[in-house]
Structure 1
Amino acid sequence: MTFGPASLFAAAGAVLFIVLALLTMLQPGRNRLRRALFAVFLVLFSLPLANIVIADSGLALIEPRLLFIGNTLGLAAAPVLYLFARSLAVAGFALRPAAVLHFLPLLIIAGLVAWQFHLQPEAVRIAVATGQASGSWLDAPGFVLVIFAYPLVYLSLTLLLAWRYEKGAQATRSASDGRELRWLAVSLTGLFGSAVLSLAHYAVVHIWPVAGLSWLLMALLMAGSLALGVYFILSAFRSLDTAVPLDSGALSPEKYGEHRLEDAQLTELTAALEAHMAAVRPHLEPELTLEALARELPMTGRELSQVINRAHGLSFYEFVARWRVREAKDRLREDPGLSITMAMHDSGFSSKSSFAKAFRRETGLTPSAWRAERSHTRPRTT
């Protein structure tokens, strides 16, 4: 057996993922289901890497039965990642017996692989391993398409869930803009980029050979995969205890339908909302939610969401942030000695990043630049 750069890199990655899975389960804290799903994902993700080691080192020629096991079982990483994302995003998420349906296509794929490879005579297995076999389903375009389509469906569902989580958080919460799961979208986009590099590397090696380019593409692929893996793992570990799930209704696309307000009612409720915001100043509560504000008015959450969306063209998060920026500007204007941090907290913001972003969106300036500009334009007294 010989171990080249690809097999060494894959072996190191597989061992790292397994160690991280063990650390995830041993780490104290709540959210045990999240941790279990993430640990299972890490183990499953290590299996295709182990398959690379088996194929690249020549071990597959010594024991052909080991080939394809890692790649086949590794397909389950995609639906497990989706379930893990749901544990982060959906309040009250629990695994139910129906969850096994996510893995039914995998059982069919595994059965076909076993039939076409593992149950064949050793001579056939070696021929498949060395690429000398012909007529096998394993090389059929339709079968390969199914294998790629299965994880692609779940990766797409995970992307959609991350997008709906961000929109749902902005529609119902004022303390967060829903970016807690954006790392999932970034990671999956990076994974797509890695797949493109892999296809380019395959084309350069097997179809259009270009001297030196294959090594360059392999180096980019390995460096990019390493950076993506570190980013994904660090972000996932941070989300295990920090991601705040939403009610399942907040993750569904909002469609008013028969509940759409008439124009006269919309105008009336908009005036009531504006008067309430100015008089009671509920935006000073850092954890203000759509339902809490709706109960104060009173109106339903659906009606309040319509008023904010249709009359102001904003999400709930952006609407409350606008009032908080107004509050911060008033405080900074009235008290030149007030620190920007104190103005941020007094206005209802709970993080510097969200305060700076909202302030720049409303004024085009940072809080310190806005204050400096105001001090230059303030009329002097003698």
Structure 2
Amino acid sequence: MSEINTLAAFYAFSGGALWLLGSLVFIGFDKVNIQANRWLGAFYCIMACAFTQLFLEGFGIGGGFLIHLLELPRWAMLPCLYMAVTYYTSPSLPKKDWLIHFVPFLLFLLFSLVYLMPIMFNAQSHLPALPSWIGFIVRYFFFGQMVYYWIVCFVLLRRHQKNVKMIASFTEKINMEWLKYLLISVLVLILIRILSISNIHVTYYSPILYFLGIILLAYSTLTQKSIYAIETYQPEEKYGTAPKKVLNERLTLEQVEELKHIIMRKTVGEKLYLDPSLTLSVLSAKIGISTHELSYVLNNGVGKSFYQFINELRTEEAKTLLLSEDTRHLDMLGVAIRAGFNSKTTFYTTFKKATNLTPKEYIKANSAAS
């Protein structure tokens, strides 16, 4: 019994860590991502309720009413995570349909207030047997909800990471890689919960496994970066790319070729790609066309995203700089900045992808050839 209690104590550690993390995030340790962090803080606080409940049950502390109160907000947990990810990935878009995600929680709350709690207040009463279908929903709906919302959150993140390459030539500060690791940490917790149902060994060690997963979760959260101000590329259809038929009616093949030559002439001829802060809207303004037309011509006429187009031009500039006598005094970061990159990471990644060589290997290979 003492060994079981020792393991159950990890539920207390997990619950305490989540209460602290949720309070810290909700209050706002990051003054930029405020709305998103409030939803994320609510997600952590509800998760803390779940682990507090497991701790009390493990040690036989508290009555049924307290346990039920801690369990009550559980169906709102994953919708809170969804709302947080929504605000992180698209903070400027309206969230008109947010309440619909909390309908199951509100129904369960209403069911509890009308049916369960009055019986719990009466010590002489016992909960009557519920219909089997209600028991099934209460028992298994949460698992389906966890899986569904995790998938939706991951899709939102991947869409955001794809979107930033449509509008920006730099991604380190806006691709929210930390959020990917946060979602992976949540997935680990979900898998532990699912496996603990069928595997007795996972069930036995689940308090420790949960605690380790929450450490990863806390690290991912506390290393988050602010959402930097950048325009959002909005296709003509609200939640997808505009139909090609509509775009083809606007731009003929001849117009696409003509705009392609203008884009290349302005971007390459005036070396606009050397601006590290160049974005889709900035380039479209310099060329004199809309962002949708520029994006369409790049994707269909050049066959590249904005990110690929600009960074490949910067790579060609970097090749020249690396072999130039005038820039031999520069280190790799200096070459990267001179070529228009705003970070060494993007420079190395793009250069290696384009040439299959690192910048130093490129210098060595061309020095040997000459």
TM-score, normalised to structure 1, is 0.82
Letter of the structure 1 residue corresponding to residue 187 of structure 2:
F
**What CA distance in whole angstroms lies between the structure 2 residues aligned with 1:352 and 1:310?**
30
**CA drift at 1:269:** 1.6
**CA drift at 1:105:** 1.9
1:370 aligns with 2:362: yes
**CA drift at 1:254:** 2.1
**What CA distance in whole angstroms lies between the structure 2 residues aligned with 1:116 and 1:245?**
49
Change (3 A) 1:26 1:340: closer
Query: Deviation digits for residues 40-69 of structure 1, max 9, x if unmatched?
Result: 232222111111112222125xx1112233
**CA drift at 1:91:** 4.2
**CA drift at 1:153:** 3.8
CA contact (8 A) 2:75 2:104 kept: no
1:225 aligns with 2:185: no
TM-score, normalised to structure 2, is 0.84
* SS, match of residue 176 in structure 2: helix
Letter of the structure 1 residue corresponding to residue 170 of structure 2:
A
Q: 323-332 or 213-222, which moves further after superposition? A: 213-222
CA contact (8 A) 1:22 1:39 kept: yes
**CA drift at 1:246:** 4.6
**What CA distance in whole angstroms lies between the structure 2 residues aligned with 1:198 and 1:283?**
49
**CA drift at 1:275:** 1.6
1:254 aligns with 2:211: no
Q: Give the match for residue 267 of structure 2.
A: 277
Q: 26-35 or 51-60, which moves further after superposition? A: 26-35
**CA drift at 1:340:** 1.7
Change (3 A) 1:203 1:125: farther
Query: Deviation digits for residues 150-208 of structure 1, max 9, x if unmatched?
Result: 44443333222211111110001112168633433443344334333333332233xxx
1:355 aligns with 2:333: no
Q: Give the match for residue 51 of structure 1.
A: 53
Change (3 A) 1:118 1:181: same
Change (3 A) 1:30 1:266: closer
Change (3 A) 1:354 1:306: same
CA contact (8 A) 2:166 2:233 kept: no
Q: Give the match for residue 300 of structure 1.
A: 290
5+ residue gaps in structure 2?
none
**CA drift at 1:217:** 5.5
**CA drift at 1:249:** 1.9
Count of residue pairs brought into register by the alignment: 361
Change (3 A) 1:234 1:361: same
**What CA distance in whole angstroms lies between the structure 2 residues aligned with 1:28 and 1:215?**
36
Change (3 A) 1:5 1:139: farther
1:21 aligns with 2:22: yes
1:167 aligns with 2:140: no
CA contact (8 A) 1:117 1:125 kept: no
CA contact (8 A) 2:298 2:305 kept: yes
**What CA distance in whole angstroms lies between the structure 2 residues aligned with 1:224 and 1:121?**
35
**What CA distance in whole angstroms lies between the structure 1 residues aligned with 2:280 and 2:55?**
52
Change (3 A) 1:218 1:83: closer
Query: Deviation digits for residues 9-64 of structure 1, max 9, x if unmatched?
Result: 1211221222233334264734433443333232222111111112222125xx11
Q: Give the match for residue 112 of structure 1.
A: 111
Note the aligned Cα RMSD (angstroms).
3.2
**CA drift at 1:122:** 7.6
5+ residue gaps in structure 1?
206-212
**CA drift at 1:370:** 1.0
**CA drift at 1:215:** 7.0
CA contact (8 A) 1:20 1:42 kept: yes
**What CA distance in whole angstroms lies between the structure 2 residues aligned with 1:366 and 1:17?**
43
* SS, match of residue 140 in structure 1: helix
Structure 2 counterparts to residues 1-382 of structure 1, below 5 A: 4-24=5-25, 25=27, 27=29, 29-60=31-62, 63-92=63-92, 99-114=98-113, 117-120=116-119, 135=130, 140-176=135-171, 180-205=175-200, 213-214=201-202, 218=206, 221-222=209-210, 224-235=212-223, 238-239=224-225, 241-244=226-229, 246-247=231-232, 249=234, 252-257=239-244, 258-260=246-248, 261-335=251-325, 336-378=328-370
CA contact (8 A) 1:21 1:43 kept: yes
CA contact (8 A) 2:192 2:202 kept: no
CA contact (8 A) 1:165 1:246 kept: no
Q: 26-35 or 343-352, which moves further after superposition? A: 26-35
